[in-house]
């Protein structure tokens, strides 16, 4: 669709000749053929791919401007295509599990009834590969708990860090802190996980007499540290995009810097800062390796539910720890966990983008 | 105003109040730092500090800080020292103090007195509300010092009298964990120390708006310091654990040998194990991802900024790019497992790893390249167009070169990110501890049947540093913990050197721009 | 990266290329090779000066933006600072309430006194200073809040009125006082009739001229003694400009107004005395507005006023 309209536009705007258009058409057909062949897992995929390369090379030689434009359009389309493919394949693979379990994919131990109608089915055990029972409830709960713990750390500390970098720190200190936070974002999650696994888990068992190896508490703290840099950098962007003129206005009235931050800067950047927190939530919920390595992997709800020192599973750690020996519906259930995760994170992402767009509109009226 | 708050243009020099409060802030910070060392068990209750045992030092320090705060509050209220307090503490302080009192009362009622949940919750709520409201009746100088001072002093007294000692322990029914005095006492010290430092910082500037700024700045500054300390601590810790095994058997000079970096995982007792295959694997997988993502990403960014008109299509692309950027890595892994693995020889492979990491890198390249392209001033484009140069020529010879530093920095930082990714590799590439490195260049061969070109090494699983670390963990820590630390160190060095280069190049280009 | 450089003056001050000597009286500058004479700067008026600067030098890094400015500003009058871009007039204005402190690279030497009290000394309470010396900026910069919140911002921040959560809980909300302040300030700024029915609307919905009068009202709400205005009408259309000019004339009855402008007609219309800054950060002539515009003593000032340069 979009590629055709793109070519139409090329024709209109550049008045290119039919040769360029024909080259483009052949290129698109070949690429489409290659894609279909790859989808069908054909060994002949190579033929249209080579054809496409040849056509592109010819186009570059004969009609460079048009070819370049078409290729950039192609690259743009591929971004969207990848997201579409991810969505489609995830859902396709998860379908058997959803069909098998129905609503019971979110089953709890005892059915919840409302006016005599079962709203949430009950099931015991919640997760059993031998009995083909796959309720994702413990994992959803585990993800919720760890994400909440993580955000208790990353939210306030992240916003404070962003304020420090953009508003408080003298330039020399900012030049140290800012790259430091970026580097913190770069520490691979498996390294955090390894430290958590070897050091913190034993520490918790020694000093808090935990009966099991690993706990939601440790995962929450580690993930919180890991999503901290995301919150700091996005919130800092938002805070420094507040026009300096309104901050000056506040200071010139005798408000202190801190009053200006509290009453002017943060409220003006509120959308951006909340977008930062939402992104942080997304990062925390999707964090895999630290949770996988630190947790003790029991697919049951903690007892009592809020026992953060207990063990359960998160959506991510379920996938990473069980994919190896999973087949059939079991594998499909793992994909279902992926779908739940993917959909939630997409909601967070789109939500934060809407909020950010709102902020731009709001502040735009002032400039 | 009418209440006679100080409103002089010029104020006096350093006063006794400032000296005392500075002392309290200093003592609080020292207590906090020592408390942290105790929580981490670097120090214990038997550690000597300034001639007394550490926990006694905590107790005496808390008592001193608490009493001093109370005295400061009273002195300010009675006009013995000159301050400019507001009528009340701010809402945040009032609610925070209320919450602390609710927690304290709730815990005492339920745990010490042993009353039921309902009673305790009610008591906690009443106490919290009462404390918050009480903040209304007192001036800011009393409200922001006395409650915190009393709490701190009470904790100090409990520790001094031994009611709360290292042997104290609390095993709440609701949690699996047991809380011991050895951790609780330093934790309380850190908590009360932070509160006292905050209150003293406010008093230091004579309360009022500037006092609150001082208090807030202190906490925010400590927070930033804490973040850097965690980062530095983590790096130093891993380095100290890993440097030994990494350097084991290194020979300099003519017979240069660095077994950990040049060996594979041999499993033979005579030969030190190494991560050479994993380093090679990481190199190839990152190279493949970059070759896929960078042209696509820059192309997309060029289209979006230079060709496309802002409309529905660009909006969709933007949402998709940001969505891809926040998609969890394990979801990319699942996608690769479902989409790529069956189509690339039906087993985990290096090629699949390259593609999946490339997909992960793509949104980052698009976002950073777009930012770089947008920041190229329109004057450049106009100037070029005014000379009669076509749009494509302008993009190729003016816009993209001007944006290149920004793009390069973004790509380098992005590469640092994917080089440490484990989750997607787990599902599509695997390749655990092994001896031989993938030989990509030597494995190309032509075949008579389609696809005519084959490369076994590309279509086989390959090791990579992050996955190797994971494999060390799943193999059991008892097996080879030091190998794990060494791998972690090498991985950290690889990733952080990308970050260092990225950040340094950004710094360099910004410098150059400003000159 | 948020250095609040709002005026062109600071950016253009690099144009100063001629060598400078330490005492400004003997500084040689411009094409005319003219020495600034003490008599051009002496301005006699009755009573104590409200504001006075003495040997005030400002450097931005290596740029010498202001050179030894000494002038005394009488109270309850309008003083205009005029001059071409880059002459340092906005920099001088920003020294009077120490807004230059916000610019890290700015280095201020010399003295400024408010009612005889030095404002560049240790222990000066910036909050108190800026309460007494208010400022209105070049471009209207209302906060993205309601009109009421904009006006009440200063008094709330200074604890004069308390509408916080606790105050509301205890029934001590100073609503009446706030209403009075809002009404008085908006009336003083001649904006009351236009906005009295929509005090709770967002201030960003007002027109540019209304926004600027709102900023003036916001400044008046803190009861300042001096009001600094940095080209307050340069971003406005002629009708809005004339409203602001009328307002400035009214304000001079109760306040000391210092206004920077590059519009000479405007300075002639609204001000009681005028100070002319010329390129290089020098104060060349200062005196009664009528005298400056009709019979300036300096040849350079005459050239500037008659439009021969600048």
Closest CA–CA distance from residue C183 to any residue of chain B (Å): 20
Residue B49 lies in a domain: yes
Q: Is the dihedral of CA B447, B449, B453, B455 positive or negative?
A: negative
**Rounded-to-integer distance, Cα C158 and Cα C153, Å:** 9
- The reply to whether residue C127 touches residue A255, judged by beta carbons under 8 angstroms, is yes
- The reply to whether residue B473 touches residue A212, judged by beta carbons under 8 angstroms, is no
Q: Is the dihedral of CA B423, B428, B429, B431 positive or negative?
A: positive
pLDDT of residue A1: 40
B42 to chain A: closest CA residue:
A203
Answer yes or no: is pLDDT of B173 > 50: yes
Answer yes or no: is pLDDT of A6 > 50: no
For chain C, which chains pass the contact test of at least 3 CB pairs under 8 Å?
A, B
Please tell me if residue B129 touches chain C, with a CB cutoff of 8 Å.
no
Q: State the DSSP code for C37.
A: P
Helices A137-163, B208-247: crossing angle, 10 deg rounding: 120
E-strand ranges in B200-330 read none
Closest CA–CA distance from residue A264 to any residue of chain C (Å): 7
- pLDDT per residue over A140-172, tens digit each? 999 999 999 999 999 999 999 999 999 999 888
Please tell me if residue A244 touches chain C, with a CB cutoff of 8 Å.
yes
What CATH number did the domain enclosing B385 receive? 1.10.3720.10
**Rounded-to-integer distance, Cα A57 and Cα A35, Å:** 19
pLDDT of residue A192: 92
Residue B106 lies in a domain: no
Residue B226 lies in a domain: no
- pLDDT per residue over A74-91, tens digit each? 899 999 999 999 999 999
Closest CA–CA distance from residue B71 to any residue of chain C (Å): 25
Total Cβ atoms within 10 A of residue B451: 14
Mean residue pLDDT of chain A comes to 85
Residue from C1, C157, C230 to probe the interface with A (highest A Cβ count within 10 Å): C157
Contacting residues of A for C201, CB less than 8 Å apart: none
pLDDT of residue A341: 93
Answer yes or no: is pLDDT of B250 > 50: yes
**Rounded-to-integer distance, Cα C152 and Cα C164, Å:** 12
Per DSSP, the three-state class of B221 is helix
Please tell me if residue A132 touches chain B, with a CB cutoff of 8 Å.
no
Contacting residues of C for A365, CB less than 8 Å apart: 144, 204-205
- ipTM tops the 0.90 cut: no
Ranges of residues in chain C with a pLDDT under 70 are 1-35, 38-39, 163-173, 309-310
Instruction: Name A340's Cβ contacts closer than 8 Å, sequence gap at least 6.
Output: A136, A140, A315
- The reply to whether residue C128 touches residue B8, judged by beta carbons under 8 angstroms, is yes
Query: Which residues form the domain of B188?
Result: 16-88+138-217
Answer yes or no: is pLDDT of B26 > 90: yes
- pLDDT per residue over A118-131, tens digit each? 777 777 778 887 88
Q: What is the mean pLDDT of residues B495-499?
A: 88
pLDDT of residue C25: 38
Closest CA–CA distance from residue C107 to any residue of chain B (Å): 21
- Domain A133-364, CATH among 3.90.190.20, 2.40.128.110, 1.10.3210.10, 1.10.3720.10: 1.10.3720.10
Number of domains in chain B: 2
| Beta bridge mates, B289 | none
Residue among A46, A168, A215 minimizing CB distance to B451: A46
Total Cβ atoms within 10 A of residue C308: 10
For C47-305, give the CATH class.
Answer: alpha beta
- The reply to whether residue C159 touches residue B8, judged by beta carbons under 8 angstroms, is no
Q: What is the bridge-based pairing of β-strands C256-260 and C273-278?
A: unpaired
- pLDDT per residue over B71-109, tens digit each? 999 998 888 888 888 877 888 888 899 999 999 999 888
- The reply to whether residue B91 touches residue C164, judged by beta carbons under 8 angstroms, is yes
Answer yes or no: is pLDDT of B193 > 80: yes
Mean residue pLDDT of chain C comes to 80
* C-alpha angle B151-B157-B161 in degrees, rounded to nearest 5: 155
Per DSSP, the three-state class of B169 is strand
- The reply to whether residue C125 touches residue B11, judged by beta carbons under 8 angstroms, is yes
Q: Is the dihedral of CA B469, A345, A236, B95 positive or negative?
A: negative
Closest CA–CA distance from residue A117 to any residue of chain B (Å): 31
Instruction: Name B393's Cβ contacts closer than 8 Å, sequence gap at least 6.
Output: A65, B384
Better-predicted residue by pLDDT, C271 or B474: C271
3-state helix, strand, coil in chain B (%, to 5): 70, 5, 25
| Beta bridge mates, C286 | C275
Instruction: Name B65's Cβ contacts closer than 8 Å, sequence gap at least 6.
Output: B24, B27, B28, B31, B149, B152, B153, B156, B192, B193, B196, B200
- The reply to whether residue B176 touches residue A320, judged by beta carbons under 8 angstroms, is no
Burial of B44 (0-12, 13-18, 19+ CB in 10 A): middle
Closest CA–CA distance from residue B10 to any residue of chain C (Å): 4
Burial of A357 (0-12, 13-18, 19+ CB in 10 A): middle
pLDDT of residue B315: 87
Residue among A69, A74, A307 minimizing CB distance to B175: A307
Q: Which of B193, B217, B241 is the last residue of a domain?
A: B217
- pLDDT per residue over A60-69, tens digit each? 888 888 888 8
| CA B310 and chain centroid, separation | 36
Closest CA–CA distance from residue B218 to any residue of chain C (Å): 20
- pLDDT per residue over B305-351, tens digit each? 888 877 788 888 888 999 998 899 999 999 999 988 888 877 888 88
**Rounded-to-integer distance, Cα B363 and Cα B411, Å:** 11
Please tell me if residue A2 touches chain C, with a CB cutoff of 8 Å.
no
- The reply to whether residue A246 touches residue C143, judged by beta carbons under 8 angstroms, is yes
Helix count (H) and strand count (E) of chain B? 19, 6
pLDDT of residue A81: 92
Per DSSP, the three-state class of A53 is helix
- The reply to whether residue A244 touches residue C137, judged by beta carbons under 8 angstroms, is no
**Rounded-to-integer distance, Cα C76 and Cα C254, Å:** 6
- The reply to whether residue C127 touches residue A363, judged by beta carbons under 8 angstroms, is no
Q: How confident is the model at residue B31 (pLDDT cuts 50, 70, 90)?
A: very high
Residues B462 and B320 in one domain: yes
Residue B418 lies in a domain: yes
pLDDT of residue A308: 84
Contacting residues of C for B8, CB less than 8 Å apart: 125, 128
Residues C245, C270: contact at Cβ < 8 Å? Answer: yes
Q: In chain A, positions 294-353, which contact chain B (CB-CB < 8 Å)? A: 304, 306-310, 316, 319-320, 323, 334-335, 338, 341-342, 345-346, 348-350, 353
Please tell me if residue B9 touches chain C, with a CB cutoff of 8 Å.
yes
pLDDT of residue B13: 55
- pLDDT per residue over C235-258, tens digit each? 888 888 888 898 898 888 889 999
Q: State the DSSP code for A367.
A: -
**Rounded-to-integer distance, Cα A24 and Cα A59, Å:** 8
pLDDT of residue B431: 66
Residues B454 and B344 in one domain: yes
For chain A, which chains pass the contact test of at least 3 CB pairs under 8 Å?
B, C
B320-323 contact pairs (CB < 8 A, 24+): B320/A79, B320/A80, B320/A83, B321/A79, B321/B363, B321/B366, B321/B367, B322/A349, B322/A353, B322/B363, B322/B367, B323/A83, B323/A346, B323/A349, B323/A350
- pLDDT per residue over B214-231, tens digit each? 999 999 999 999 999 999
Instruction: Name B68's Cβ contacts closer than 8 Å, sequence gap at least 6.
Output: B20, B23, B24, B149, B200
Residues B311 and B407 in one domain: yes
**Rounded-to-integer distance, Cα C231 and Cα C243, Å:** 14
- pLDDT per residue over B413-425, tens digit each? 888 888 888 888 8
A270 to chain C: closest CA residue:
C144
Answer yes or no: is pLDDT of B477 > 60: no
pLDDT of residue C164: 62
Instruction: Name A59's Cβ contacts closer than 8 Å, sequence gap at least 6.
Output: A20, A23, A24, A27, A66, A67, A70
Which sequence spans correspond to the domains of chain A? 2-100, 133-364
Better-predicted residue by pLDDT, A80 or B268: A80
Answer yes or no: is pLDDT of A205 > 80: yes
Instruction: Name B267's Cβ contacts closer than 8 Å, sequence gap at least 6.
Output: B273, B435
**Rounded-to-integer distance, Cα A120 and Cα A109, Å:** 10
Contacting residues of A for B459, CB less than 8 Å apart: none
Residues B145 and B25 in one domain: yes
Closest CA–CA distance from residue A66 to any residue of chain C (Å): 40
| CA C247 and chain centroid, separation | 15
- The reply to whether residue A73 touches residue B495, judged by beta carbons under 8 angstroms, is no
- pLDDT per residue over B374-417, tens digit each? 888 888 888 888 887 888 888 888 888 888 888 888 888 888 88
A31 token code pair: 């690429």
Q: What is the mean pLDDT of residues A290-297?
A: 87
Residue B495 lies in a domain: yes
Per DSSP, the three-state class of A117 is strand
Mean residue pLDDT of chain B comes to 84
């Amino acid at each position: 669709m979009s590629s055709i309209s793109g070519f139409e536009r090329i024709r209109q705007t550049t008045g290119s000749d039919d040769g360029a258009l024909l080259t483009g058409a052949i290129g698109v057909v070949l690429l489409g053929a290659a894609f279909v062949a790859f989808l069908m897992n054909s060994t002949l995929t190579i033929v249209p791919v080579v054809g496409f390369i040849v056509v592109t090379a010819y186009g570059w030689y004969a009609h460079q401007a048009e070819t370049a434009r078409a290729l950039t359009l192609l690259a743009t389309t591929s971004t969207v295509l990848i997201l579409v493919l991810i969505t489609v394949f995830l859902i396709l693979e998860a379908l058997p599990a959803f069909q098998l379990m129905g609503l019971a994919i979110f089953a709890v131990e005892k059915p919840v009834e409302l006016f005599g109608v079962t709203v949430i089915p009950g099931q015991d055990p919640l997760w059993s590969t031998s009995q083909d029972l796959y309720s994702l409830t413990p994992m959803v709960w585990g993800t919720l708990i760890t994400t909440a713990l993580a955000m208790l750390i990353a939210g306030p500390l992240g916003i404070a860090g962003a304020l420090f970098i953009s508003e408080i720190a003298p330039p020399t200190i900012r030049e140290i802190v800012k790259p430091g936070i970026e580097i913190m974002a770069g520490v691979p999650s498996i390294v955090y996980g390894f430290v958590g696994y070897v050091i913190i888990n034993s520490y918790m068992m020694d000093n808090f007499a935990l009966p099991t190896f690993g706990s939601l508490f440790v995962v929450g703290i580690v993930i919180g540290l890991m999503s901290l840099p995301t919150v700091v950098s996005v919130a800092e962007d938002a805070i420094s995009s507040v026009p300096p003129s309104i901050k000056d206005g506040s200071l010139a009235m005798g408000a202190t810097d801190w009053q200006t931050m509290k009453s002017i800067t943060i409220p003006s950047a509120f959308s951006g800062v909340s977008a930062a927190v939402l992104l942080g939530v997304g990062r925390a919920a999707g964090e895999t390796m630290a949770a996988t390595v630190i947790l003790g992997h029991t697919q049951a709800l903690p007892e009592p539910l809020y026992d953060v020192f207990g063990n359960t599973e998160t959506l991510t750690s379920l996938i990473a720890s069980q994919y190896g020996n999973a087949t059939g519906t079991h594998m499909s259930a793992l994909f279902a966990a992926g779908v739940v995760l993917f959909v939630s994170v997409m909601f967070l992402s789109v939500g934060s983008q809407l909020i950010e767009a709102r902020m731009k509109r709001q502040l735009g009226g002032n400039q | 105003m009418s209440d006679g708050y100080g409103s002089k243009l010029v104020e006096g020099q350093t006063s006794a109040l400032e000296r005392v409060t500075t002392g309290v802030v200093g003592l609080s910070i020292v207590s906090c730092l020592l408390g942290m060392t105790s929580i981490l068990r670097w120090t214990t209750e038997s550690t000597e500090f300034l001639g007394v045992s550490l926990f006694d030092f905590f107790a005496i320090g808390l008592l001193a800080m608490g009493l001093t705060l109370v005295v400061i509050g009273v002195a300010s209220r009675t006009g013995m020292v000159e301050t400019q307090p507001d009528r009340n503490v701010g809402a945040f302080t009032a609610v925070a103090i209320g919450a602390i009192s609710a927690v304290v009362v709730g815990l005492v009622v339920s745990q010490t007195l042993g009353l039921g949940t309902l009673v305790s919750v009610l008591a906690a709520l009443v106490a919290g509300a009462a404390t918050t409201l009480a903040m209304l009746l007192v001036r800011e100088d009393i409200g922001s010092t006395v409650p915190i001072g009393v709490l701190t002093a009470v904790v100090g007294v409990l520790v001094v009298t031994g009611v709360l000692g290292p042997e104290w322990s609390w095993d709440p029914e609701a949690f699996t964990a047991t809380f011991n005095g050895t951790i609780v006492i330093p934790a309380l010290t850190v908590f009360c120390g932070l509160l006292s430092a905050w209150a003293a910082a406010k008093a230091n500037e004579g309360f009022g708006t500037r006092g609150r700024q001082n208090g807030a700045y202190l906490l925010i500054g400590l927070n930033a310091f804490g973040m850097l300390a965690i980062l530095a601590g983590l790096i130093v810790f891993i380095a100290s654990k890993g440097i030994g095994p990494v350097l084991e058997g290194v020979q300099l000079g003519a017979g240069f040998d660095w077994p950990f970096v040049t060996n594979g995982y041999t499993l033979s007792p005579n030969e030190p194990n190494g991560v050479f295959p994993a380093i090679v694997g990481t190199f190839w997988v990152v190279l493949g991802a970059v070759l896929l993502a960078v042209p696509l990403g820059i192309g997309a960014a060029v289209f979006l900024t230079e060709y496309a008109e802002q409309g529905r299509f660009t909006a969709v692309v933007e949402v998709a790019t940001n969505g891809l950027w926040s998609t969890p890595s394990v979801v990319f892994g699942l996608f690769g497992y479902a989409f790529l693995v069956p189509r690339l020889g039906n087993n985990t492979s290096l090629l699949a790893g390259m593609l999946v990491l490339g997909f992960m890198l793509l949104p980052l390249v698009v976002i950073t390249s777009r930012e770089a392209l947008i920041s190229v001033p329109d004057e450049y484009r106009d100037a070029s167009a005014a000379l009669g140069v076509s749009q494509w020529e302008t993009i190729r010879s003016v816009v993209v070169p001007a944006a290149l530093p920004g793009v390069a920095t973004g790509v380098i930082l992005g590469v640092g990110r994917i080089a440490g990714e484990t989750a997607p590799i787990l599902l599509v590439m695997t390749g655990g501890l092994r001896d031989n490195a993938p030989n990509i260049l030597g494995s190309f061969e032509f075949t008579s049947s389609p696809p005519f070109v084959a490369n076994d090494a590309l279509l086989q699983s390959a090791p990579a540093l992050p996955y190797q670390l994971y494999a060390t963990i799943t193999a059991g820590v008892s097996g080879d913990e030091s190998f794990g630390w060494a791998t972690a160190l090498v991985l950290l060095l690889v990733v952080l050197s990308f970050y260092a280069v990225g950040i340094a190049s950004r710094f360099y280009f910004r410098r150059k721009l400003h000159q | 990266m948020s250095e609040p450089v709002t005026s062109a003056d600071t950016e253009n001050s690099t144009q100063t290329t001629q060598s400078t000597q330490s005492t400004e009286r003997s500084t040689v500058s411009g094409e005319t090779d003219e020495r600034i004479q003490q008599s051009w700067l002496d301005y006699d008026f009755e009573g104590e000066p409200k504001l006075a600067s003495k040997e005030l030098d400002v450097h931005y890094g290596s740029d010498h933006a202001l050179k030894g400015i000494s002038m005394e500003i009488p109270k309850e009058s309008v003083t205009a600072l005029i001059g071409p871009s880059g002459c340092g007039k906005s920099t001088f204005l920003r020294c009077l309430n120490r807004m230059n402190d916000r610019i890290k690279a700015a280095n201020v030497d010399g003295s400024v006194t408010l009612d005889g009290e030095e404002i560049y000394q240790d222990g000066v309470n910036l909050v108190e200073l800026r309460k007494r010396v208010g400022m209105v900026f070049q471009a209207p910069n209302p906060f993205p809040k309601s009109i009421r919140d904009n006006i009440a911002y200063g008094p709330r921040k200074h604890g004069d009125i308390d509408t916080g959560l606790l105050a509301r809980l205890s029934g001590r909300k100073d609503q009446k006082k706030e209403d009075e302040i809002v009404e008085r300030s908006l009336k003083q700024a001649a904006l009351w009739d236009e906005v009295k029915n929509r005090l709770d609307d967002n201030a960003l919905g007002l027109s540019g001229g209304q926004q600027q009068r709102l900023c003036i009202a916001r400044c008046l709400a803190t009861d300042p003694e001096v009001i600094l205005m940095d080209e307050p009408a340069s971003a406005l259309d002629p009708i809005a400009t004339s409203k602001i000019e009328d307002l400035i004339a009214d304000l001079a009855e109760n306040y000391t107004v210092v206004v920077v402008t590059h519009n000479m007609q405007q300075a002639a219309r609204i001000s009681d005395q005028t100070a002319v800054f010329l390129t290089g950060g020098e104060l060349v002539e200062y005196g009664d507005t009528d005298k400056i515009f009709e019979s300036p003593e300096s040849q350079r000032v005459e050239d500037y006023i008659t439009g021969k340069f600048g």
